[in-house]
Amino acid sequence: MTTTKQSSTYLYLVCLVAALGGFLFGFDTAVISGTVSLVKKDFNLDVVNEGWFVSCALLGCIIGVSISGKLSDKYGRKLIMILSAVLFLASAVGCTVVSSFGQLIAFRLIGGLGIGVASMVSPLYISEFSPSRYRGMMVSLYQLALTIGIVISYFSNAYLAAHTADTFSSAGMQKIFSTEVWRAMLGLGVFPSGIFLLSLFLVPESPRWLLMQGQEAKAKNILIKIDGPQAAAREIAAVKQTGDSESNLKELFKPVYRRALWIGLLLPFLSQVCGINAVIYYGPKILEQAGFTLNNALGGQVTIGLVNVVFTFVAIFTVDKWGRRPLLFVGIGGAVFALLVIGILFAAGITTGPWILIFILLFISCFAFSFGPVCWVVIGEIFPNAIRGKAMALATLSLWVANFLVGQLTPLMLEDLGSSVTFWLFAICCSPALYITWKLIPETKGRSLENIDNYWKETYNAAN
């Protein structure tokens, strides 16, 4: 009993360290929301540069995702997670001390590289490190850390915006914490990135990667510590059996997996163009248009972040009980309804009172128990075992491309089209996910990964 307890504790601690990549991912992508109007004012930005300030990090994410799979295969999961932590840390320090808008963009790009790398490698490491019976829970820990990172960034932004003071004797500190408080908002990322970096030196390499490199003895010691000698032997045998075929991504493009490929590309893409990150990035600006002051808008953003965390728990506890498709149908349908109503409220000029915030919270809650987590549950299940990692990289790339487009275009839409049309467009972009859920996505609740793989083959053979 003592050995089992120690192994479980070790598993949880290592996965918690890896999940800090998710925390940084959430923190760094959301912290931008409280800084947009402040940076725009200090650097006198037009709407194009405002969008570039938000989306430049997303361009870095696209690059980071594109290179992370190849780098992690060559140099190991742990080393590339360390690289992501270093990039996060450099970005936080640089954004605090920049002297020009160009430098700010450069350091946001560096942070974006870190986000892209972490968004791919951290969950990959957790999934490879965890025993199969714990894998869903452990990967969900990464996702939960992401939502907590978002809400912590909202809290820190709201606190710093409300507590600027002229009490610093140092001109530099006065600039960071008072006259240009956006520097402190971005710079606080130093603390979680530093913790992530130091903690990574205490965790082992992924045992699966070690096996692929022929380092069986090291991998075996880690696997025994995680799950005992019998499970370690089974895992080593399974990796040896499938290891040779993992590099062949062409398998994914065969007709038998075409439906899975479409799901993998479209579902993450639609999960972003529905407008979730427009609310995360531009929430204060949207709420200001609804009549909130900046400080109140940031407070509303904190509420948005808390709702996101709470309803993520709903998904964690229900997705295996109710199934993937019911959550997607209810959540996506609710999100479309909320987006349509928000557009109607703006069009009708009903911008006073709590109504705008109420329906934004409805949209967030629907996303948090459906699109957000269930998208990645489905994507993690539908691909064949041998190429799941590389297929997930394609899905993640699809997400970041959509995220970049939303980040770049939202300020233009808000200014040129207005809030009402912007939210109606998000509703239109969200709607096809209902059709995809109905026509393309099978219910995978309770199925083994091998059973799902066989499902694609049986469906293809039956149709041909």
- DSSP secondary structure letters along 256-293: GGHHHHHHHHHHHHHHHHTSHHHHHHHHHHHHHHTT--
**More confident call, 243 vs 211:** 211
- CB count, 10 Å around CB of 283? 28
Query: For 281-305, what is the mean pLDDT?
Result: 64
Report d(CA 138, CA 151) in Å as an integer.
20
Which amino acid type is present at position 457? K
SS (H, E, C) 158-198: HHHHHCCCCCCCCHHHHHHHHHCCHHHHHHCCHHHHHHHHH
What pLDDT is recorded for position 434?
95
What pLDDT is recorded for position 425?
95
pLDDT level of residue 287 (50, 70, 90 thresholds): low
What pLDDT is recorded for position 13?
92
pLDDT level of residue 34 (50, 70, 90 thresholds): confident
Q: Please report which helix (H) or strand (E) contains residue 47, including its range.
A: helix 47-75
Query: For 110-117, what is the mean pLDDT?
Result: 92
What pLDDT is recorded for position 78?
93
pLDDT level of residue 243 (50, 70, 90 thresholds): low
Residue 300 tokens read as 């509303």
Percent over 70 (pLDDT), the chain: 85
Which amino acid type is present at position 50? E
> Among residues 201, 121, 209, 134, which one has the least CA distance to residue 222?
209
Residue 343 predicted with pLDDT over 80:
yes
Report d(CA 142, CA 83) in Å as an integer.
18
> Among residues 206, 364, 397, which one has the least CA distance to residue 280?
364
- Average pLDDT value for the chain: 82
**More confident call, 126 vs 187:** 187
What pLDDT is recorded for position 6?
42
What are the pLDDT digits (tens) for 138-180?
777 787 888 899 888 888 887 887 776 656 666 667 777 767 7
> Residues 36, 281: contact at Cβ < 8 Å?
yes
What pLDDT is recorded for position 3?
44
pTM for this prediction: 0.79
Lowest-pLDDT range of 5-9, 254-258, 370-374: 5-9
Q: What values do phi and psi take at 248, rounded to 5?
A: -95, 95
Residue 88 tokens read as 């996060």
> Among residues 124, 127, 130, 136, which one has the least CA distance to residue 231?
130
Query: For 398-405, what is the mean pLDDT?
Result: 85
Report d(CA 383, CA 366) in Å as an integer.
26
> Among residues 21, 18, 209, which one has the least CA distance to residue 117?
21
What are the pLDDT digits (tens) for 92-108?
999 998 889 999 999 99
What pLDDT is recorded for position 449?
58
Report d(CA 126, CA 16) in Å as an integer.
9
> Residues 108, 54: contact at Cβ < 8 Å?
no
Q: If phi over 0 gives left and psi between -120 and 50 gives alpha, with beta otherwise, what is residue 446? A: left
Report d(CA 260, CA 197) in Å as an integer.
36
pLDDT level of residue 109 (50, 70, 90 thresholds): very high
What pLDDT is recorded for position 66?
85
What pLDDT is recorded for position 159?
83
**More confident call, 436 vs 460:** 436
What pLDDT is recorded for position 275?
86
Angle between helices 418-430 and 432-439 (to 10 degrees): 10
Residue 238 predicted with pLDDT over 80:
no
Q: Please provide the distance, in angstroms rounded to a whole number, between the alpha carbons at the two ends of the chain.
A: 53
Residue 297 predicted with pLDDT over 60:
no
Residue 280 tokens read as 């995360």
Q: Please report which helix (H) or strand (E) contains residue 154, including its range.
A: helix 135-162
Residue 463 tokens read as 């149709």
